[in-house]
Amino acid sequence: MANQNSKNQQWNNMNKALSKTNNKGKFYNSQDKVTHEKFTRICLSLVDSKPFRELTTTQKWLYVCMSLQVPSHDKKLIERYGQNAFYFNWRIQQNFGLLNHGQNIKNIRILAQKGFIEIKEDNHHNKKRNIYCLSSKWYTEE
């Protein structure tokens, strides 16, 4: 019972942080004609998957924040890497409250290793934007 309450508290904290970010009005999707807010869908098979359950709360929040960056409005990026490509730079990370840059880099690599994202261009040493794509490589028939 205590473990379930802990999980509920973690998800409540994520939802509070997400609503605070949306209230700042910084990440809008112009394609949503009703609310003009950006949103992401997380399927049940993702939440129930073993790789997702093995992630820490911070890594799950990082994945949600990254998935909010899709779709990108950069036509060159989409032409080069497809519809699931996006940028996720330090400024975006700070806006979502992800303030430990070194830990973010490690967590992004873990998300890539587990198949949630693909790192298309790792430019953090060049002070350029990193390019990622959402991936479904995490999915396995259980």
123, 129 in Cβ contact below 8 A?
Answer: yes
Indicate the pLDDT class of residue 56, thresholds 50, 70 and 90: very high
Give residue for tokens 């261009």. Answer: 121
pLDDT at 16 exceeding the cut of 80: no
* Domain boundaries defined on the chain: 2-134
- pLDDT for 90 equals 87
Segment 72-127, tens digit of pLDDT: 888 999 899 988 899 998 888 999 999 998 999 999 999 999 999 999 998 878 87
pTM above 0.75, yes or no: no
C-alpha distances in Å from residue 92, one per residue of 24, 68, 70, 97: 13, 11, 13, 9
Report helix, strand or coil for 101.
helix
